[in-house]
Amino acid sequence: MPITKISKALFSNSIGNRAVRNAVKAVSPNATTAYILSSTTPVISSTTLVPVAGLSLDVTANTYYTIEGLLALSIAGAAQNISLDFNGGTAQASTVTGTVLFTLHNTATTLAFDQTALNTLVSGGTTSAWTKAWIDFSFFCSVSGTLQVRFAQNVSGATNTRILGGSWLLAYPLDHVLNQ
């Protein structure tokens, strides 16, 4: 059964988390999802990464995964912005490759950041208060556990940086798809 990528445009058109979970399960019954319904506690004056409750996925050893997701962001000041990684859980990975793409609402302004390890610090820089971070990467899970998103301010400041409700992650175990 071929996998159909979920289009980012579907989320711009507000089809919602339930419809996405149903579509994912239809094309890959072993896919897992994570999402948050309400905004995180803001990070203020801190560059220490903290886990995002609800944005964690269980992954199994000796399995290739592709991860897709959207983080809806609220960043009060571009100077503080956001930093994030995917190393808040217990899973261990190798052969990590992919991209986090930061975007601004209704503009073509973007910042791409290559992902090479779960603990690669992805920085939003200091020039734009991004409204979204699109996630697309793959990896080989070498030790079973959880994949957990963590975030902080890129530069410590007295303004709020938070991840908003409606943010989501999808994990496709590629071994299942490849063995169909």
Give pLDDT tens digits for 109-148: 788 878 888 998 988 888 888 999 999 999 999 999 999 9
Average pLDDT of the segment spanning 6-19: 46
* Topology adopted by domain 8-178: Jelly Rolls (2.60.120)
Dist CA 135 CA 113 (whole Å): 10
With tokens 């410590």, the residue in question is 156
Task: Quote the distance between the C-alpha of residue 68 and its chain's center.
Answer: 7
- Ordered by start, the domain boundaries in the chain are 8-178
> Cβ(109)–Cβ(128) under 8 Å?
yes
pLDDT, tens digit, 9 for 90 and up, residues 49-87: 999 999 999 999 999 999 999 999 999 888 889 999 999
Global confidence as pTM: 0.80
For residue 49, how many other CB atoms are within 10 A of its CB? 19
